[in-house]
Amino acid sequence: MTAEERLAVLVGEVRHDPAALPRVSARAARVVGRGPGLDGRRIEDVARSRLLVAACETAGPDVATDVVAGQYAVGDADERRAVLMALPDLEELGLGDGAVPVVLDALRTNDTRLVAVAMGPYAAAHLPVDAWRHGVLKCLFTGVPLASVAALDARRDAELDRMVRAFAEEREAAGRDVPEDALRLLASADH
């Protein structure tokens, strides 16, 4: 049986009983596989994201936010990363701003894997401007490449540039290196 066929079995379990999502998601990597996939994303992340989407589709749009929050709350770091990755796919279900608390929680962590995924397309579309700016700074503080920040150029504003400039000045005053991403952002702000 191929990985795709094994995933289809798991999706069937979740569609039959959306409440089984935490249990099924926890064993997804063992059943489907681990490691990089053909599209560059990890196989287990894709599997867990698809399971979450299936659970939300089955449960319905009225409870999709609760399903997302519940899965994020019970998941380990890998399962939480998959929840964050699935958020753009859940937009079609009318998730709206319902998952903003999940993104904000991820941005409070120091887990760079969560921070990087948290600043993806869902955050670009739904995070309030102040929270989004702080997410960008969190990326700089933790070493997450700004390439992970979806719609950086579109959402960037003078206040973000001011904040990044202050961050760079503090680093220089402390005798610490300024991240290359911060220097690139500041160089483009001067033009």
Tokens 């753009």 sit at which residue? 88
Closest CA to 118 of 154, 157, 150: 150
**pLDDT tens digits, one per residue of 86-108:** 999 998 888 999 999 999 999 99
- Model pLDDT, residue 57: 95
Name every residue whose Cβ is closer than 8 Å to that of residue 76 and which is 6 or more positions away in sequence: none
Q: Which residues in the chain show pLDDT less than 50? A: none
Rounded to the nearest 5°, which phi and psi values hold at 2?
-80, 165
- Model pLDDT, residue 166: 97
- Model pLDDT, residue 189: 82
- Model pLDDT, residue 79: 95
- Model pLDDT, residue 134: 98
- Model pLDDT, residue 61: 86
In the chain, where the domains are located: 1-94, 99-191
Rounded to the nearest 5°, which phi and psi values hold at 42?
-70, 140
